[in-house]
Structure 1
Amino acid sequence: MFQPCEICGADDWSVTYEGLIRAGGFGQQQAGGIVGRCGGCGVERLDEACSVDSAAYESEAYRAAMGQGLSVEEFFAHADPTQLQNLTALWPYSLRGKVVADIGCGAGSFLDHIAGIAGRIIAVEPTPLYHDSLSGRGYTVYPYAADAAKAEPASADAAVTFQVIEHVPDPVAFLKDIAALLKPGAPLLIATPNRADILMSLLPEEFPSFYYRRVHRWYFDATSLRRAVERAGFQVQEERFLHGFGMANMLAWLRDRKPAGHARLPGIDRAADAQWKAYLEASGQADTLYLLAKNSG
């Protein structure tokens, strides 16, 4: 069912989940999902037979299935609200005057937020749908990090990759391609869904069928992500947890067994949300795991 782990090489897997997995937005599900946990590094992965083929990420059908739309404007509507959190994770590192690469940048929402500050921007995105728009905004475009590294090795002063590593066939190979693009000592900021999300423990029967999804091969906690990053030749500098949703979303899950997104509830103000998020982030139970690493090459 599972081949030796691409991260640590162990061939010791235990099944941690069997059942429905998400096949798109909320309510779109498919049966037969199988998730295993590696006994060597602790990473979880979806059985390959259930996973989306990696070539799908180059297609418009993938973006449509994920509810991200087929236009640049629709992508921005989906991605722009997340960029403040990404910039918060990057703080206090400055990108001013730097050559910055965004690996899996989509239509370039994060890049637009740093344009005018960064010296030059490398946009790495497999979906051809966005390439004309990215290049039209002055970004240097490549489909994959390996292509960028081949064209201009060791050229980037910094790189980011947000919500991408969980999709790739081989996380270590993916990270090594990024390392080849980065200058020695340059930082890489990674974001991925946090497997220790509090809803996984609050709703162990209901939430996994939403959390596990066909387009995500890999499910990381802090330990397994650290192992992958170190195996690729990076030195881990810092782990951070950031939470994107307020208390109302958690309460909706507990009451209705479905997400409420950013909807608000009477009596729960921004101060309550801030305290809730601070608790989750301090305890490592937030929805997003960030890791900052330094290229050792």
Structure 2
Amino acid sequence: MIGEGGFGRVYKGQLEVVQVVAVKQLDRNGFQGNREFLVEVLMLSLLHHSNLVNLIGYCADGDQRILVYEYLANGSLEDHLLDLPEGKAPLDWNTRMKIAAGAAKGLEYLHETADPPVIYRDFKASNILLDAEFNPKLSDFGLAKLGPTGDKTHVSTRVMGTYGYCAPEYALTGQLTSKSDVYSFGVVFLEIITGRRVIDNSRPTEEQNLVTWASPLLKDRKKFDLLADPLLEGKYHQKGLHQALAVAAMCLQEEDSTRPLMSDVVTALEYLATNKGPGEGGVLEENEEREDDHDEADR
């Protein structure tokens, strides 16, 4: 067994063709019911992208509900980012940006290429799976919804998803748009940068909600370093951190119409993912320090 949750259990298996797979056996009494099972099968049968998990097969015999996926050797982003066990190496800056860019491409495909468009609705670290090279793939499509078409601006639906990741307008009204996913992406991107959980009741009261804690810091460039995961040990370029936080802040705008399209997010993150951070020691380049000094002087 390689995982367990409200949906049931996940096992590692092997097909006769010598392909390693992940087998999800849904709990007959669990939270993920027959409808979510059918949505998952339909969505992953119709959607194909390198940043979406590949559904190999399924079983719906009697009351058995089984899904067979490609096996992704590095588990979920949550496994490598949050509450790391002692001795496990943290993700470096470049790998974090690579994962964020790939996950953004998955959402971009759902929103802007799939026809009709799809709203993922449950974007979170535990649903981003990683292959042996840390390429990300979105999984768990049971809550996904077809997006609005024609003159419609949103889809009205019962509020589902995970607390802390839901966009405020969706949580309040049940009106779902692709910009709801953009907000959720901003939350996860903030987790990637900070190494903090979206909700962490073990922290002081004012720090328990990641977005609430980070919001004032995102408005003050002098405090940006407070938002970087301490496990990075300063091994990142200041400009890279500033640009990443700017993307997160745009995605987390309260007003959904002011959030960017995922294609714009992808453009920004591809740049961050291909511009390598510092090597050992994490020392800033001299010209970068000078440019930052000029920026401060201009203010």
Q: Same fold by TM-score, threshold 0.5 exceeded?
A: no
More strand by share: 1
- Which protein shows a greater Rg? 2
More helix by share: 2
